[in-house]
Structure 1
Amino acid sequence: MFLQRSAVALARRAAVAPALRRSIATTAVRRNAVTDQPKIKTLSAEIKTDDDLLGPGARPGTVPTDLEQATGLERLEIIGKMEGVDIFDMRPLDASRLGTLADPIMVRSAGEEQFAGCTGYPADSHNVIWLRMDRERPVERCPECGSVYKMEYVGPQDDHTHGHGHDHHGWVEPKTWADHVKPEYW
């Protein structure tokens, strides 16, 4: 009985293993053998507008790669990774020190607002507390440990698409007790 089970298991492995090795190896060979591939635009020189972030798509009868079918931010991230650039800067924040008003922990943001998760000082001394910073109020202090974070805006300086600034669509940030504290204590 034991011999029958091991023979069946061995036959299954032998039938599947060569097919897996062959399909992966021939895919790489076929991909490198294609000569009429569209040129990939480089991040530093050729990507200037949103239209440059449209992928060429796959040729008829082929399966597209991630690079061929990706568009927008996903394509920008893939091209950035190919060139060694971390587009979204996913490194953790500096947790080796306590941020102060004089020397806050800097949080880079390309958007109007940014959320940062504070785990305390020393690191992991309290549960994650999410802090919201924006261009109008870039400094935020953790209520648990007192660490100070400051948003550094690295996005475009002017937003010509809206033309009416940050307060669009009538949204106003709700008032809290923090609004009655002097700005130098933020």
Structure 2
Amino acid sequence: MFLQRSAVAIARRAAVAPALRRSIATSAVRRNAGVPDAPKFKTLKEIKTEEDLIGPGTPPGQVPTDLEQSTGLERLEILGKTEGIDVFDMRPLDASRKGTLDNPIMVRSAGEEQFAGCTGYPADSHNVLWLRMTRDRPVERCPECGSVYKMEYVGPQDDHHDHHHHGWQEPKTMADFVKPEYW
């Protein structure tokens, strides 16, 4: 009985083994054979409107790349990386010195407001305190360590709409009562 089972098992292995070898064999296949050339993507300089940040998609039956399927800010970031530009500038702020009123730590912003996290000087000397800077009030001082941050606006200069919200005023703080010459 034992010999019958082992003989059958050996016969099965022998019949299956050549099929396995053939199925794993490689063959040269041209990638994207019969597919027209890939679409040309716009560069960062060619992007003028939000419609330029919508990807072309991919033809049915193909797996899209990140560049083909991304839209909006993600597409802007990927296009920037292909050109070697860090669009969102995610480097940490300068923590090698303490910002002063004469020499503040500069924070770049393309929007109306920017938040910056201060960890103190020397670095990590206190918990993170988030400071809010706006175009109207670009300078902020950390209440814990006294380091000064200043927002440098790098966005479009003329955006054709009112910067002030109708009827909304920024809440009063103690900074509103400080003499301007102390800023």
Normalising to structure 2: TM-score of the pair?
A: 0.79
TM-aligned CA deviation for residue 35 of structure 1? 5.0
Counterparts in 2 of 1:32 and 1:95: CA distance versus 1, 3 Å: farther
Distance 2:65 2:37 in 1: 15
Show the counterpart of 1:36.
37
Distance 1:33 1:82 in 2: 27
Identity %: 79
User: 1:182 is aligned with what amino acid?
Assistant: K
Show the counterpart of 1:166.
163
User: Unaligned 5+ residue runs, structure 1?
Assistant: 1-21
TM-aligned CA deviation for residue 48 of structure 1? 2.0
Distance 2:138 2:154 in 1: 12
User: 1:184 is aligned with what amino acid?
Assistant: E
Show the counterpart of 1:71.
71
Show the counterpart of 2:113.
113
Distance 1:143 1:78 in 2: 38
Show the counterpart of 1:60.
60
Counterparts in 2 of 1:121 and 1:152: CA distance versus 1, 3 Å: same
Which deviations, in whole Å up to 9, do the C-alpha atoms of 1:127-176 show, x marking residues without a partner? Answer: 0000000011000000000000000000001121x3xx221243221112
User: 2:58 is aligned with what amino acid?
Assistant: A
Distance 1:122 1:33 in 2: 61
Counterparts in 2 of 1:88 and 1:31: CA distance versus 1, 3 Å: farther
Distance 1:101 1:180 in 2: 18
Runs (4+) of structure 1 moved beyond 3 Å? 29-35
Counterparts in 2 of 1:32 and 1:117: CA distance versus 1, 3 Å: farther
1:134-149 aligned at under 5 Å gives the runs 134-149=134-149
SS in structure 1 of the partner of residue 44 of structure 2? coil
Distance 1:32 1:136 in 2: 57
Distance 1:155 1:33 in 2: 44
TM-aligned CA deviation for residue 184 of structure 1? 3.2
Distance 1:102 1:35 in 2: 59
* Number of aligned residue pairs: 156
- Structure having the higher Rg: 2
Counterparts in 2 of 1:184 and 1:117: CA distance versus 1, 3 Å: farther
TM-aligned CA deviation for residue 72 of structure 1? 1.2
User: 1:174 is aligned with what amino acid?
Assistant: P
Distance 1:182 1:53 in 2: 46
Distance 2:153 2:47 in 1: 22
TM-aligned CA deviation for residue 105 of structure 1? 0.3
Normalising to structure 1: TM-score of the pair?
A: 0.77
Distance 1:63 1:171 in 2: 48
User: Unaligned 5+ residue runs, structure 2?
Assistant: 1-23
SS in structure 1 of the partner of residue 31 of structure 2? helix
Distance 1:166 1:183 in 2: 23
